[in-house]
Chain A
Amino acid sequence: MGGKKPTGVETKEGITDMLFFFSSVSHSQITRLYSRFTSLDKGENGTLSREDFQRIPELAINPLGDRIINAFFPEGEDQVNFRGFMRTLAHFRPIEDNEKSKDQNGPEPLNSRSNKLHFAFRLYDLDKDDKISRDELLQVLRMMVGVNISDEQLGSIADRTIQEADQDGDCAISFAEFVKVLEKVDVEQKMSIRFLH
C-alpha cells in the first residue's frame, strides 16, 4: 500500500501503522513520550488541546509553530489523544537501515520518506487540495522571514520557487512535483528525531 495517504481516521491501516510503530519503538521511548504527553496535558483528561501545545514556549517562537500544532490534530478535531500524538511523532522516527530493504507488501510505515514528505506537504497545504498554491507558499514564506523583506520581493521569491518546481504549468506545486524537487535533499535525516535525549 505504498503511497497511500495516511489519515487521522482510525482505519485498519491507521491501527496497523500504529502497531508497527509501537513495535519498533523501545519501551523506554514510549514511556518517556507518554510522560511528556501527560505533563503537557494540564487538564488531565487524557487528551491535548491546542492550548496545551501553545503552552510550550519554544514552540511559540518557532516560525512554523502554529502549523506544527495543527498537524497534530486530525481534521476538524480539537483534541488529540496519545495515539494521535504518537501517530504524528511516528513520522519522525529515523529510518533504520534494515527497513530500507523491506518488501513493499506490508503497509508503508509512517516514517517512510514518502510519508515524511507528505507530512511536510500538508504543513504547506492548508486547504488540503493537494496543491501548494502561491498564496499558501507566500503565507509560509512570510512566516519564515523577517520584516526586512517587502511583499514584492517575497512574491518574486515565491514565484521563483513555484517556477522551479512546477512541471505541469499550473502555477502550483502538487505532491509529485514537491517530491521531485526534494529528491536530492536528505529528507530522511532532516525529518528524523531521536526520541531519547
Chain B
Amino acid sequence: MGKKLIGCPVCIEHKKYSRNALLFNLGLVCDARTNTCSLEPIVKKLSGYLTTLELESGFISKEESKQKLLPIMSTLLEDLNATGACTLPIDESNTIHLKLIQLRKDPPIVQEYDVPVFTQCKDHFIKSQWDLTTQQILPYIDGFRHIQKISAEADVELNLVRIAVQNLLYYGVVTLVSIFQYSNVYCTTPKVQSLIDDKSIQEECLNYVTKQGQKRASLRDVFQLYCGLSPGTTVRDLCSRYSQQLQRVDERRLIQFGLMKCLIRRLQKYPVKVIRDERSRPPRLYTGCHSYDEICCKTGITYQELDERLENDPNIVVCWK
C-alpha cells in the first residue's frame, strides 16, 4: 500500500450504547516513508479530547453533532499540512488547539569549561519569552565567556546555568565552542573545504570575521589563515606569521566561526601520569580523561601554572587530541 496509519482506538463502556460499548478511532493516513513521530502526540491528544467530549455531551454518538466531525477533519488535514498548527472550534464552549512539535535530539551535557555562542543574532530573540534564569544569563553569553565565568558574573548557580544553556542548545539557539586563549592549538578538518565549495558559508564567514569598520576580508586571506592552523601552531604563532592577512580579520571571531561550523577543531591537552611508585595515590586528574581546560576550571590554577608543573614532571606525558 505504501501508507502508514496512525490511530488511537478508544473504548467507552456504558449500558446506553447499543452494544454496551462505543468504540471509535480517529486516525491519520500518511506516506509509509515519512517520519511521523511528531504526529503521534496529536493523535493521542485528539483521542483524549474526543473521549472527553463524548463523555460530557455524547458528541460522537449523537447524530447531529456527529455531522460536525467531517468539517473538523478536513480543517485538521488542511491546516496541519499547511502550517503545522490548527484550531478546531467544536461548539461555543470548546475549541481544540493542536500543534506539531518537532522532536529534536537530546543535547549533550554542558560542562563548566564550555563556551556558548549564539548561532543567530542575539537580538532576534524576544527575551521575555524565556525563563528567568535564561534571561539573567543572556547578556553574558558572548561566545567568549565559559559557563563558570557566566555563573560567577551573572550570579547564578553553576548547575542552573548549565541547564539553561543545555536548554538553549536543544532549541539550536546556541552552540558550544571551547575557551579561547592565544596559546590554544587548532587544526583543520576536512570540512574546511566547504569554505571554498559553498558560497553561502563563504559569505557568512567573510561577514563574520571581518574587523569592524574594515573592508571585507578576502577569501584567500581567510582560507590561508584557517589552513595555517595546525598541530604545534598556537594562535599567537598564527598571528605573527600571518600578520598581513590579519589586517582585516579579527582572529577571535575567525576561530569562533571556524569552531561553530566545524571547519577547525581544538586540540586539547591531556596529561597522563604513566610512571608512579606503588606507594603514591593513583592519579585522580592526570589519567588522560581530563583536559587542561577541565583541570584548570576545576582546580582554579591557570594554564601557565599547570604547564609549568607538568613540563618538569618526568612521570607525566601529555597527549594532544
Whether A and B are associated in the same complex: the answer reads: no
